[in-house]
Amino acid sequence: MQSDTFMSGHGTPALDEAALLGRVAAEEMDAFETLYRIYRPRLKRFIEGMTRQPALIEEVLDDTMLVVWRKAYTYNHTAKVSTWIFAIAYRQTLKALKRFDDVVEFDYSDNASALAPGPDVELQQYELRKYLVDALGRLSAEHRAVIELTYYQGYACREIAEIMDCPVDTVKTRMFYARRKLKTLLAARKEAI
């Protein structure tokens, strides 16, 4: 039965993304569309979190998926497909940031209406989110990447090391300093109010 091949080795159901990528390597547009639509929300979120520059998001996302299309035939099954794609996204984001030299600043306070609390949202949660957006904007791209990949994308430390192409201990250290800076910024913000 076909659906048997759509179970991952971790006991949780998962699409056989490696097979999908194999079809992308054979230039099947349907398969590429499926992969694109599956990954778009996660990549968009990751690139946004890492760049904090809305103007860059779509461009980096397209560049990332174009590399996936071109390089699908090089995927060698040593990592999960998602780790492989996020590693490409990470490199493309760093490249784009370098190109823009991190000069285009986006004032997220202008975007406050997008974060306005709905009737069901606790004010406290809203406040924390607002501070968090501000504070994350002050971290380095690498620190933001570790935070995004851990808390939002749910990657294990070892997988983040593969994505960022660095030792596991470097990931732990980056996360440690990112958290410390985040805490300091959030505390300073609360005191200032």
Partner 1 sequence: MSGRVLRFEGSVHVEVERLLPWLVNGTLQDNERALVEQHLAECAQCRREAEWQRTLQSAHDAEADTDADATQAWQRMRRRVEEERVGRRAAVSKTGTHGWGRRRSWWRWAVAVQASVILMLGVMLIQRNPPVAVYRTLGAAQPQSTHLVVVFDPHVSEAQMRSLLRAGNARIVDGPTATGAYVLSVPTAGVANVREALRAAPGVTLVENLSSGSER
Binding region for partner 1 (CB under 8 A): 2-3, 6-8, 12-15, 23, 26-34, 36-42, 44-45, 58, 61-62, 65-66, 69-70, 73, 82, 114, 121, 125, 128-129, 132-133, 147, 150-152, 154-157, 159, 169, 172-173, 175-176, 179, 182-183
Task: Indicate the SS3 state at residue 13.
Answer: strand
Distances (CA, A) of 44 to 26, 69, 161: 25, 17, 20
CA–CA dist 54, 175 (Å, integer)? 24
Taking the complex as a whole, the smallest distance from the CB of residue 190 to partner 1 amounts, in Å, to 13
Least separation in angstroms between CB 53 and partner 1: 16
Shortest distance in whole angstroms from residue 193 CB to partner 1: 17
Question: Could you tell me which residues are beta bridge partners of residue 7?
Answer: 13
Question: Hey, is 7 helix, strand or coil?
Answer: strand
d(CA 158, CA 77): 16
The residue (of 103 and 128) whose beta carbon lies closer to partner 1 is: 128
Nearer to partner 1 (CB atom), residue 14 or residue 141: 14
In degrees rounded to 5, what are phi and psi of residue 156?
-75, 160
Cβ closest to partner 1, residue 58 vs residue 165? 58
- In 3D space, the residue among 84, 62, 69, 65 whose CA is nearest the CA of residue 28 turns out to be 69
Residues 6+ apart with CB under 8 A from 107: none
Q: Provide the minimum distance between the beta carbon of 66 and partner 1 in the complex, in angstroms, as a whole number.
A: 6
Cβ proximity to partner 1: between 104 and 187 the closer is 187
Closest approach, Cβ 176 to partner 1, in A, equals: 5
